[in-house]
Amino acid sequence: MMEALSARGLWVSRGGNGGAASKAVLKNVNLSVRRGHLHMLLGRNGSGKSTFMETVAGLLPYQNGELEIEVSPTRMVSQNPDHSIILPTVGAEVAFGLWDQALDPDDVRERVRRALSQVNLGGLSEKAIGTLSGGQKQRLALAGALVESPKLLLLDEITSFLDAENQFGVLRTVKALIDGDPTGDLSALWVTHRSEELQYASSASLMENGEIVGVAQSQAEMDSLVRQFEEICEGQRRLMTP
Ligand SMILES: Nc1ncnc2c1ncn2[C@@H]1O[C@H](COP(=O)(O)OP(=O)(O)OP(=O)(O)O)[C@@H](O)[C@H]1O
């Protein structure tokens, strides 16, 4: 199987506990992430990107269609690292992901060291989390996922709260992780509303109003997907302007 993740004809409703007030938020979504790809899911706020991510992560049920995740483990990193970080120091936070694996302490230390160096936080194991910058915290959250040797990373707008320098720093780190993975099997689904990030994507999908309205299978097709997105945003701005 070439795919890490494949959704076909996926329908997801939210709200109203499935009753009369629930509404279809994802409508017939087809989306595949190939192994070894950094696949970006681009869309405006409210288009349904997070709903798709939560469904893939198994946090939301789907009502129709098929969802196959062909690799494991899968690890998710969310927008705000402050929501997931719980321990006082960098090293302890990363090691937390391994607590249930009955590893010996040297092994844990080595894995934590490796995960931190993969995100350019090497040597900061003893640092207090309160002293980290926003960009460092998001890298730490990424290390917390990487320490578990995931095959699929689910990254939900992880650059939202970062300035441009850190935004591209984190993005380049993820790209380098995928390109440098010795098995060639590490993949990521990267959710974003920032079209400038697509220059780093291997492939991308455009979501609008809960539907996939465009796909780019390579960088060569990325410009026209970005233009399509900009036209959607422009159309929306015209609608909102009296
Ligand atoms: N808990 C919920 N209950 C009911 N409806 C919801 C819930 N969460 C989201 N929705 C609705 O689902 C739709 C898609 O939201 P979703 O958060 O998936 O979009 P998004 O593209 O990720 O947007 P954002 O970038 O703002 O997070 C929106 O219309 C939203 O109002």
3 inside domain: yes
Q: What is the ipTM of this complex?
A: 0.94
147 inside domain: no
Q: What sign for the dihedral angle of Cα 88, 90, 95, 97? A: positive
CA distance 188 to 154: 6
Query: Which domain range does residue 61 map to?
Result: 1-72+187-242
CA distance 146 to 149: 5
Pocket of ligand 1 contains residue 78 by CB under 6 Å: no
**Residues 6 or more apart whose Cβ sits within 8 Å of residue 240:** none
Pocket of ligand 1 contains residue 47 by CB under 6 Å: yes
143 inside domain: no
Pocket of ligand 1 contains residue 37 by CB under 6 Å: no
Q: Choose among 58, 57, 147: nearest CA to 101.
A: 147
Supply the pLDDT for residue 86: 79
Torsion of CA 55, 58, 62, 68, to 10 degrees: 90
Atom 26 (ligand 1): residue with closest C-alpha? 45
Supply the pLDDT for residue 80: 82
Distance 25 CA to ligand 1 centre (A): 8
205 inside domain: yes
Quick: pLDDT tens for 29-53: 999 999 999 999 999 999 999 999 9
Pocket of ligand 1 contains residue 35 by CB under 6 Å: no
Supply the pLDDT for residue 39: 98
Quick: pLDDT tens for 109-161: 999 999 999 999 998 988 999 899 888 999 999 999 999 999 999 999 999 88
Distance 61 CA to ligand 1 centre (A): 15
86 inside domain: no
Q: Choose among 134, 136, 135, 84: nearest CA to 125.
A: 136
91 inside domain: no
Report how many domains make up the chain: 1
**Which atom belonging to ligand 1 lies closest to the Cα atom of 22?**
4
Pairing relationship of beta strands 38-43 and 187-192 according to DSSP bridges: parallel
Distance 48 CA to ligand 1 centre (A): 6
Atom 3 (ligand 1): residue with closest C-alpha? 15
Distance 1 CA to ligand 1 centre (A): 31
29 inside domain: yes
> Residue 57 is part of a domain; what is its CATH number?
3.40.50.300
141 inside domain: no
| Tokens matching residue 57 | 């992560």
CA distance 235 to 71: 39
CA distance 192 to 50: 10
